Amino acid sequence: MKIIRHALAKSTAKDNQEGFTLIEVLIAMAIFAVGILALAGLQVTYIGGNASAQMQTGATALGAQVIEHLKSLPFDAAELDPTGNPHQPPAGGSGPYDVRWTVADNAPVNNAKTIDVTVTPINRVNGRRVSISTIIGE
């Protein structure tokens, strides 16, 4: 009977060393959860940065398009009249952006105009203002 008890005690001690305790499992799960939450926070940051970059790219492209349109106009066009500052395109034509430009006569050289185009995203959370300038001659 003594031999059986001794063998039973050895097998019980061995069984306890082969698995994980509940505390070990809970600690491992807590460490894993902290890591996953950190990754989720990074994901939110990346999504916000991507939206901001998209708005910035759209604003820059729209500003360049407005500059090209203004450069194609005759020198004395109404859109290039300095007395009408600030100018705006027709309502609803610029999507989620507010586009304005100012014109100044006699830029660094005579018979020239300086055009400053400013494109501001209406949703200011995800975008910043873009300013583009150019000089046109008669």
pLDDT digits (tens, 9 = 90+) for 26-78: 999 999 999 999 898 899 889 888 888 888 898 999 999 999 999 999 988 88
| pLDDT confidence tier of residue 106, bands split at 50, 70 and 90 | confident
In this prediction, residues 84-105 reach a mean pLDDT of 82
| CA nearest to 127, candidates 49, 46, 55, 47 | 55
pLDDT of 96 reads 86
Q: Which residue has the higher pLDDT, 108 or 59?
A: 59
pLDDT of 88 reads 84
- Read off the pLDDT of residues 69-84 as tens digits, 9 standing for 90 and up: 999 999 888 888 888 8
Q: Are 34 and 108 in contact (CB under 8 A)?
A: no
d(CA 84, CA 116): 13
pTM of the model: 0.68
Token pair of 105 as six digits: 């006569």
Q: Give the Cβ contact number of residue 48 at 10 Å.
A: 12
- Read off the pLDDT of residues 1-31 as tens digits, 9 standing for 90 and up: 555 555 555 555 555 567 788 999 999 999 9
CA 44 to chain CA mean position, Å: 11
pLDDT of 52 reads 86
pLDDT of 60 reads 92
Please state, in angstroms and as integers, the Cα–Cα distance from residue 53 to each residue in 59, 81, 130, following that order. Answer: 10, 33, 12
